[in-house]
Amino acid sequence: MADTLPFSDKIALVTGSARGIGRAIAETLASRGASVVIADVRAELAEATAKEIASQHIAASSGQRTLAVAVDVVNGESVKAMVERVLAEFGRIDILVNNAGITRDNLIMRMEEADWDLVLNINLKGAFNCAKAVVRTMMKQRYGRIVNIASVSGLAGQAGQANYSSSKAGLIGLTKALARELGSRQITVNAVAPGFIPTDLTKDLPAELKDASLKMIPLARWGSTQDIASAVAFLASDEAAYITGHVLSVDGGMVMM
């Protein structure tokens, strides 16, 4: 049965995957045959998530595995060590999902410089560090899928999110630049731009903002982490082999461009 799954024999590295959207992505890729690396700054939570995914989504006879790795994506040496460990365990990396990200929302007149730097470093520099660390291996393989988790805030902007919107707009630019740079080696680079999704990043939004958001969404509902995971799985699959440099909005129609 495992041989018929779309990601059989594929190794997927997902950052920020101990919970939320990242976990849903890791679960989906595992359920479709991939061995998954749960990479997160929260080491204990990453270990627990890896064990749960293995028990819930991987058959003992499939040959698939999960691996938990603690990483600080802002630290280049930490990222390098993570990739070296993954290569030592699996020998290759086929899929990289740059999902690690944070918010530190505030109006610009009240935004601390430290909060600007933190968000840009994790959301944008972190993706740069991870992509840089895996591309040599992918280029040697002449195969790779990189999927960056952007945001509709990076497409349309969002008041009170100057740092977050800038980081995600930058991530979209990075996506397109890498798509041009790596395409000749059959490495595709795409982005998924989620709209409103219930996660730890959105749980503290005021009720009035949540209600107002529904009026901006033609489908009149928030999405789910599975909606994002399914989009990522498509872009990481061979069915999307001729798609690169693309930003796929998964937002219920909120931002149409």
Q: 195 and 254 in contact (C-beta within 8 Å)?
A: yes
- Catalytic entry in 164, 249, 250, 255: 164
Taking the chain, what is the end-to-end CA distance rounded to the nearest angstrom? 41
For the record, the structure tokens of 16 come out as 């920020």
Q: Is 164 a catalytic residue?
A: yes
Q: How many CB atoms within 10 Å of residue 241?
A: 11
Distance between CA atoms of 33 and 38, rounded to whole angstroms?
A: 15
Q: CA–CA separation, 150 vs 140, rounded Å?
A: 27
φ, ψ at 230 (rounded to 5°): -65, -40
Lay out the sheet containing 35-40: strands in order across: 66-70, 35-40, 11-15, 95-98, 144-149, 187-194, 247-250
Q: Just list the catalytic residues.
A: 164
